[in-house]
């Protein structure tokens, strides 16, 4: 155990940390320690910046109406443990009694470079996401987001290595994560493209942060576990909390998200990777929303489909026929005329997310 002298008993105490003060603010007369002073300086610097990230929930662009939902997004890299294990094994055979120091140095440098490459890739992906949000600012305002001209509507929580967490208005959360993951996959390390999974918890803005963050982590883990062995791809999973959440995603997916005839209402988690031709690809979900909105069908008919979906495939098929709304299924869903494909509903995710989604206009989306 080590101890040290904090002050000599004659120093003024910091108004915030109770440590020895090194600075007095003239206007307020408050005393601050070096730690507190550095935080004040950083805050003032951010305040003067032309483009600062949101510091408060109110700066995310959330509208004060029925759409006042926020989203916490947690992104975590895939196969990181496997990559480090492979790196370790690649050096194991190089050792002999004469080169231990040399190989140790090479191994340390390789680990450092691995960390640097991962950190750079994730930060580049985050910056691409921010850039896309800024490019879409005018459209986001037209769609009802209340944005401040000098504030980027993203609240950074964690951006360290392959561990990322941020908060946004719910309506841009899915597109933000999609842009992030697509940009990330442009990078590679140790000869393999970098992939990750995103979990997005969508809640009312006053919902407890801790519970929301836990849900985002659980969704991220669920996306990871859904990837088949040997596949290298990125996925997105999300959940919209309407009311109270029971802290059991599996139970919800196996009860609330099941039809009465035993099929799945949701196709989540969705695949993001560009080269994938999966029927549960994010681009198809995006087209579903685009088609539904372009048909300009009565809102009652669209929302009415949710009840029929819950009953099962035959009920939804009958509902579509009675209401003559076959055009709710786009050309990309011609093999799902009943609204179901391979035991999963192809329209539920889009209709459920309809009020919580603003598409980005970007050449890569």
What is the H or E stretch that residue 224 is in?
A: helix 209-225
For residues 23 and 146, give the distance between their C-alpha atoms in angstroms, rounded to a whole number: 38
Residues ≥6 apart with Cβ < 8 Å to 310: 259, 260, 265
Look at residue 222 in the predicted model and tell me its pLDDT: 97
Look at residue 365 in the predicted model and tell me its pLDDT: 60
Angle subtended at Cα 135 by Cα 277 and Cα 353, rounded to the nearest 5 degrees: 50
- The total number of residues shown for the chain amounts to 365
Look at residue 7 in the predicted model and tell me its pLDDT: 66
Look at residue 334 in the predicted model and tell me its pLDDT: 87
Q: E strands along 79-177, which residues?
A: 151-152, 155-160, 163-169
* Residue-level pLDDT, tens digit, the chain, 365 residues: 455 566 666 678 887 777 888 888 877 788 888 778 777 776 666 555 556 899 888 899 998 766 689 999 999 999 999 999 999 999 998 999 889 999 999 999 999 999 999 999 999 999 999 999 999 999 999 999 999 988 999 999 999 999 999 999 999 999 999 999 999 999 999 889 999 999 999 999 889 999 999 999 999 999 999 999 889 999 999 999 987 777 789 999 999 999 999 999 999 999 999 988 899 999 999 999 999 999 999 999 999 999 999 999 999 999 999 999 999 999 999 899 899 999 999 999 999 999 999 999 865 66
Boundaries of every domain in the chain: 1-48, 52-256, 273-365
Helices (H) and strands (E) in the chain — how many of each? 11, 14
Token output for 102: 């040399």
For residues 207 and 123, give the distance between their C-alpha atoms in angstroms, rounded to a whole number: 28
| Contact of 130 with 156, CB cutoff 8 Å | no
In CATH terms, the superfamily for domain 52-256 is Reverse transcriptase/Diguanylate cyclase domain (3.30.70.270)
């Amino acid at each position: 155990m080590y101890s040290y002298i904090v002050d000599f008993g004659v120093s003024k105490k910091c108004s915030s940390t109770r440590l020895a003060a090194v600075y007095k603010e003239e206007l307020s007369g408050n005393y601050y320690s070096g730690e507190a002073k550095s935080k004040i300086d950083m805050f003032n610097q951010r305040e003067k910046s032309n483009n600062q990230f949101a510091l408060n929930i109110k700066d995310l662009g959330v509208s004060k109406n029925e759409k006042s939902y926020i989203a916490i997004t947690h992104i975590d890299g895939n196969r990181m443990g496997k990559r480090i294990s492979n790196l370790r094994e690649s050096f194991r055979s190089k050792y002999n009694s004469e080169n231990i120091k040399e190989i140790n140095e090479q191994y340390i440098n390789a680990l450092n470079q691995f960390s640097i490459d991962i950190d750079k890739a994730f930060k580049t992906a985050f910056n691409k996401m921010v850039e896309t949000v800024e490019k879409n600012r005018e459209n986001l305002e037209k769609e009802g987001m209340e944005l401040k001209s000098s504030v980027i509507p993203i609240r950074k929580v964690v951006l360290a290595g392959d561990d990322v967490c941020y908060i946004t208005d719910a309506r841009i959360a899915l597109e933000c994560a999609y842009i992030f993951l697509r940009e990330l996959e442009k990078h590679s390390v140790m000869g393999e493209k970098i992939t990750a999974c995103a979990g997005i918890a969508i809640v009312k803005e006053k919902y407890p942060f801790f519970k929301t963050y836990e849900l985002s982590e659980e969704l991220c883990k669920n996306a990871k576990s859904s990837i088949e062995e040997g596949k290298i791809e990125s996925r997105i999973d999300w959940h919209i909390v309407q009311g109270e959440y029971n802290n059991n995603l599996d139970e919800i997916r196996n009860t609330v998200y099941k039809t009465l005839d035993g099929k799945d209402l949701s196709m989540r988690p969705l695949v993001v990777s560009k080269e994938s031709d999966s029927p549960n690809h994010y681009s198809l979900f995006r087209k579903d929303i685009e088609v539904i909105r372009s048909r300009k069908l009565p809102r009652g008919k669209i929302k009415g489909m949710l009840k029929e979906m819950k009953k099962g495939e035959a009920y939804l098929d009958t509902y579509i026929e009675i209401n003559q709304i076959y055009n709710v299924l786009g050309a990309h869903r011609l093999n799902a005329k009943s609204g179901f494909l391979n035991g999963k509903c192809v329209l539920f995710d889009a209709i459920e997310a309809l009020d919580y989604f603003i598409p980005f206009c970007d050449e890569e989306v």
